[in-house]
Structures are given as structure tokens and as C-alpha cells.
Amino acid sequence: MKKLILLLCLCGIQSLWSQEKYTLNSSNSFVSYKAKHFLHAWEGTNNNVKGLLTKKGAGFNQMALVMTVTDFNSKNSSRDANASEVLEVLSFPKITFTASEISQENDSLNISGTLSFHGVEISKTIAAKLEEQDNELSLSGTFKLNLTEFDIKLPSFMLKKMEENIQVSYLFKFRAL
């Protein structure tokens, strides 16, 4: 029995070693959003995203991303302060995405997982374009996000609320560990 347990442990360790691990290069990566109100549009960018990606064999099998809501910068401190209040950053400071399935066809990925924002978790599939160079992987793409899915009370101006859908764009540069 002890030999069986030892063998299983060694197989598990070997499995971990056989994975290629990549860490997100935060200085070259970002997540940005574009939001609209009938009077104007604005965008904000987060340049402080953290993440890990693993590849086993020919395919990717895990990805995890985390960012702090207050790291989004719209280049308007008043708007950012209001967004912090609306998004209740003291109660919900982080946004996370954990991939449970990653499928690849040529240079396209479909990344399915759990997006956690404002205390709500939803299942989300995100399409990404993959570029591989040397020991670096780049994932990029855009998707729409409905803020009301996360129980966010949309702010209003002149009796009109902002649009509930925002467009999210991202560029993730991963480097091999």
C-alpha cells in the first residue's frame, strides 16, 4: 500500500513538472474598458494585472488572472473616485478570472471560466488571439460585459443611466518561468 501511495505521489509530481508555466508580464499587459452615456463616452485602463498560465503537452490547461478595481485609470480622478463608490471597492476590491477549459484552434483560443466581479461570479467564455514568440505568449481580444449581471447599480446623469454594456479589451503577455 505504501508503495502504491509513493508511486501515485511521484506520478503527480511528474505531472506538475511536465507542465510549462508562464507568468504575466504586468509591465506589458493591460485590461481596458469603454463605457458610454448618451452625452459622452470614456475608457479606463488597468496596467497592473497579475496572472499565470499553464500548458500541458500541446494545449493550455489553466489560467488565472487578478486585478484591483482601483488600478483602473480613466484619466479623470473625479470619475475614478465615483466609479470606486459605485463599484463598492471597499467591499469588492478585486476582479478575478479563473479558466476551467481552454480550447485552441490554430492561433485562436476559447477560454471558459469563472469571472468574479462585485461579489458575483458568472461563467464566461472569452475568445483570444494567440501569438507565440520565443518564450513569450501574447493573448489579445475584446468582449462585452453587462454590468447589471454583477448587481452593479448603474450611475445616472441628467436622469439617464449609463449603458449597461461595456466593451473590454485586453493584451496579456506571458513569459515562460
Cell of 23: 507568468
Supply the DSSP symbol for 47.
-
Phi then psi for 19, rounded to 5 degrees? -90, 140
The one-character DSSP state at 3 is: H
State how far the Cα of 97 lies from the Cα of 124, in Å rounded to an integer: 9
Query: How far, in whole angstroms, is CA 53 from its chain's centroid?
Result: 12
pLDDT of residue 161: 75
Question: Could you state, in chain order, the average pLDDT of each consecutive group of 10 residues for the chain (177 residues)?
Answer: 48 58 96 88 95 91 97 94 92 97 96 97 97 92 95 75 87 95
Cell numbers given for 166: 461595456
Q: What is the pLDDT of residue 158?
A: 66
pLDDT of residue 4: 42
| Ramachandran angles phi, psi of 80, nearest 5° | -65, -40
Could you give the CA distance from residue 169 to residue 90 in angstroms, rounded to a whole number?
Answer: 25
From CA 105, how far away is CA 113, in angstroms rounded?
18
* Domains, in order of start, for the chain: 20-176 (2.40.128.110)
- Say if residues 89 and 70 touch (Cβ distance below 8 Å): yes
Give the pLDDT confidence score for residue 2 in this predicted structure: 54
**Which residue type sits at 125?**
T
DSSP state of 119: T
Q: What is the pTM of this model?
A: 0.84
